[in-house]
Structure formats: C-alpha cells, structure tokens
A and B are shown apart, each in its own frame.
Chain A
Amino acid sequence: MTLIKFKLNGIDCEIESDPSLRLLDVLRNHFKLTGPKEGCGEGECGACAVLLDGKIVNSCITPLANVHMKEVTTIEGYRETNKYQVLKEAMEFENGFQCGICTPGMMIAAESLLSKNPHPTEEEVRIGISGNLCRCTGYNMIVKAVLRASKKGEGIW
C-alpha cells in the first residue's frame, strides 16, 4: 500500500492503495465517477479516456502510480467548464452520438486536441479521435461536431 496524492477534477485527493491498480477502477469504484467506461480494457477503444495534466490517456491501462502528484480530469470535472458546454452543444447540433458509450471519451479526446490546437483541420480532428471507437455514428458527425465547437468556441481554447 502506498499513499498516492493527486488532483481529481480540481480537488486534492489522497488514497492509500495498491499503485498497480488501474486508474479506471479507482475512479469508478472508489470515487464513484462512472463517466469513464471500460470498453476493451486494453487501450484501444478510448471509452475510459480521461485527461492527465490536460492530455488524453486511457485510464484502463494507467497504473494509479502514474498519476501521483498529477492532475486527473474526468468527464464529470470537465462538465463544469464553458468548453464542455460549447462541445456539448456542437455534439447535439451535429448528432455526434447515438448510444452514448463512446461520448465521454470522445469529449475528452476533443478537449485534449482543442487545448493544444484550437483550429484543427478535419484530418487533425480525425487523428485526435483516432484512439476512440464509435460503432454508431461512423465518425463523420463527431468530426463535424469538433470542427463546429472549434468555430463556435472561438477564443476559449
């Protein structure tokens, strides 16, 4: 057992735990944050995506040890931001979701992209969400939504 300290959705947290635990399990079971989902469990589908110091990572293959002294943001924390509102409205406008299971991960991927590249090209958006699988939309609506958010959210990223 090791004391792991990190910032979770803006709040300082400490947890005495096995450092090899998957971040995903700690988020869902200990902190009851069920926005990140387990899809493939091996880093391929992106349903478990969270931000680690503002960058997308797959929480299903992140050992808890790797977030020690870092900042983790889940979709629950991101929901409290203006950027989320812009992205959410763009996703709704473009119908960028159906069943919804990939949506938290897609939003995290979009945020990770837009925070470093506020005006991405279509190709850059496709690369940005390339680690997130969606079996409903065929991706085109999600790509449109991210491009729309980038335009509508001019100046906030």
Chain B
Amino acid sequence: MVNHVIPNTYLDALRYLSDQTFKVIAGGTDLMIQKRGTRETPPNFDSNMLYCFNLKELNYVHKEKLHIHIGSMTPLEVLLHHQDIPEIMKQVIAEMASPAIRNVATLSGNIANASPAGDSLLSLYLLNAEIVLESLNGKRVLPIDQVITGPRQTVISKDEIIKEIIIENPKFSKIQWTKVGGRRADAISKISCLSAVQIKNNKVIDFRLTLGAVYKTVIRSREIESKCIGLTLDQLKENKNTILSLYEGLIQPIDDQRSNRIYRKKVALNIIEKWIADL
C-alpha cells in the first residue's frame, strides 16, 4: 500500500520526509509518464508520494546582489517571463517542451530526474548553480555537478527536498544555445550545447561550455575552459582543433531510440567548432 500525501506547508513536507520514505513529485511531467498505467488507471507509483507542487513557500524568484534564488516549485514558464532570470537560461527554457508542460515543469524536477538530456541542467551547470537541499536535520548547499552523479542518480537523501536553486548572473559578450531534436516543440534533445563567452579588449576573460545528452551527465570541463581563458580571440581560433580534441575525449554518447553515438559525437563537435569559428 502506497501513501499519497499533500503537505499543507513546507515544514509539513520536511516532517513527512523525516518520518517515512517518500518520493517528492512536483509538476509530475516526468513521473506521471514514467509510471504511467494502462488507460484510465492511476500511475503505478511504487513508493509513497509527496505532492509538493502547490507549496507556495517554494514558488519564488529572489534577486540578491550577485545571485538569483529560485524556489524549487517555481514553474519554468514563470522563469521564462521573469525579469530577474538571465537571458541565457530563458533561451534554454523557451525551447523546452510546450507551454502546457512549462506551466508545471520545474528546474528541481529536471535535477531530481537527472536525465543527461535535461535541457535546463545545461544552464544550471553553466551558471554555477548551487542546489539547496534541506531536511529537518539541516541544510546542505552543493554545486549542481555534485548533486547529479549519473543518469537518474543524485546524492539527494531520502529525508531531503530540493529547497532552492541559486544561480549567478554573469555578463557575457556572446551566448549560444543549440538544441538538436526531432521537432521544434515537445522534443527531447538528441544533443544540446550551451556556451557563453566574455571578451574584453579582444581577450577571452570567461569561457563556458556545456553539453547535454552526450555523456552520463551534463559535460562541463573547467580544465578545458581554463585553457581558453586568457587567450586572445585569434589565439582561441588558432587553437580550435586542440580544444575540439579535448572535448572529443569527454564526449561518450550512447545509442538509443532518439539518436546514435556516431551522430551525437559528430554533431556535438560540429556545434563546438562553429561556436568558436563564429566568435
């Protein structure tokens, strides 16, 4: 017998999580499909479910000096139209699913689902997102790449809930979001790439690049990025092939129903090559 609970407050939710094992469900756009039953039957949830989507305390966007705090139950469509959300994140969200999905889908759902093809994750990796996990026992703040450890795998404990996501809002001279999918809406990425650069006096002072759906987690290599920072734009372009070969070593895609490893690798590298060439 599975228990279904709708907590009235955030504190209630934390109490339930400390008492029993629950799966937290937000908008349900992943879980309701993954556990879908036969026609006209409820989903086959195999654990207790805690329905947190309507917790008002977790639906907010707060801008502070250098950071933006996003409540874990804030729908993507709200972020898409919010004045404090960075343009680079909005570009990603705009191509995710459809308005009906975005009205209930959340960043925290993308994090907890931990799919390598979760588009919003690329913006979180790129904006150095920190994830606030809370339980009755306290709070942990972890960088996104330490929260997600593999496909469908996170370090979120049974008694924890994602409380909020904290992102930076750095200045970039140029950003690029490329999503390769079967169609323009409602498509899960075959390959995705989000990149940003800050150039001052012809010198690269910030360089960030993330790749989705080509490895078991989103790829972001600070090692490669640090090799690009400090170069002049011309030097960056001259070193294009070296940079590409470094990324090539990290890209290890899989074959699945959406695409295959040869296509994914080739196209991912083409996107990076074009990004550098067009700078």
Contact = CB atoms under 8 A, between A and B. Distances in A.
A34 to B, nearest CB: 13
Given A66-B53, A131-B185, A42 B33 contact: yes
Interface stretch (B34-42, B60-68, B166-174, B220-228): B34-42
Given A20-B4, A109-B99, A113-B99, A130 B186 contact: yes
A25 B40 contact: yes
Interface residues of B, number: 31
Contacts of B4: 2, 18-20, 65
State the majority secondary structure of interface residues on A: mixed
B99 A62 contact: no
Interface in B36-91: 36, 39-43, 45, 49, 51, 53-54, 77
Contact of B186 (A38, A44, A61, A128): A44
Contacts of A46: 98, 100
A42 B29 CA distance: 8
Contacts of A41: 36, 39
Interface in B87-124: 97-101, 103-104
Contacts of A77: none
B98 A19 contact: no
Given A68-B6, A68-B54, 9 more contacts: A19-B4, A25-B40, A29-B40, A46-B98, A55-B99, A57-B100, A66-B53, A66-B104, A70-B54
29 contacts: A2-B4, A2-B5, A4-B6, A20-B4, A20-B49, A22-B43, A41-B39, A42-B36, A43-B29, A43-B32, A43-B97, A43-B186, A44-B186, A55-B103, A56-B99, A57-B100, A58-B101, A62-B28, A62-B32, A63-B25, A63-B51, A65-B4, A66-B54, A68-B51, A68-B54, A70-B54, A109-B100, A130-B184, A131-B99
